[in-house]
Amino acid sequence: MKKRLISTQGSTLIEILIAIGIMIFVILAIGMALVDGQRGWNYMYNRIYSDVVTDGYVARRKLDAILRKASGETFSLAGDGSWIEVNYYADDTSIVVDRYARFYVSGGDLNVEYGQLNPKQTISVETVCSNVSGCIFKQSGRSAQMILTLDDGVKTNTIITSAIANN
């Protein structure tokens, strides 16, 4: 009788299909994790760099920069907190407070009006940020506070910032 030799070195079709199924499952799991990570990153990026966030940052920096130049004794504030005006020196060599800056909201924009004091005359108006849904100014001694709410229809951001007049 002849012995029949059976080779056990190869793989059966069922073993190959099972291995392919396991690889597909692992690849899909890795793909889902990558997609989810990308979605999370995009969400945070859009949240951090959205218009209302960057506009709020710009408004905060502008208020701080102007108030650092301002004379602490010459604040003017609307009774309802709708605007604040500070007087400041035109440059470092000035000995007299001769300029003013007024923050106010008009048409959904936060504006700064710059001008000279004597005679009182507007020099320029700058739009600091848009999408303003509310803004209140408060004063306490030599410091001023701005509570600014920005809303672009998708996101809302409220910024509360204070600055102290240094001069």
Distance between CA 53 and CA 157 in Å, rounded? 7
Position 118 in a domain: yes
- Same domain? 32 vs 96: no
List, for residues 21-33, the tens digit of each pLDDT value.
Answer: 999 999 999 999 9
Global pTM? 0.68
pLDDT digit string, tens, across residues 52-83: 888 888 899 999 888 888 876 677 888 899 99
Alpha carbons 125 and 114: distance in angstroms, whole number: 6
Longest CA pairwise span in the chain (Å): 125
Q: Are residues 43 and 67 in the same domain?
A: no
CA angle 112, 116, 119 (to 5 degrees): 135
Between 83 and 5, where is the model more confident?
A: 83
Residue 5 domain-assigned (yes or no): no
- For residues 30 and 76, membership in a common domain is answered with no
Is 100 part of any domain?
A: yes
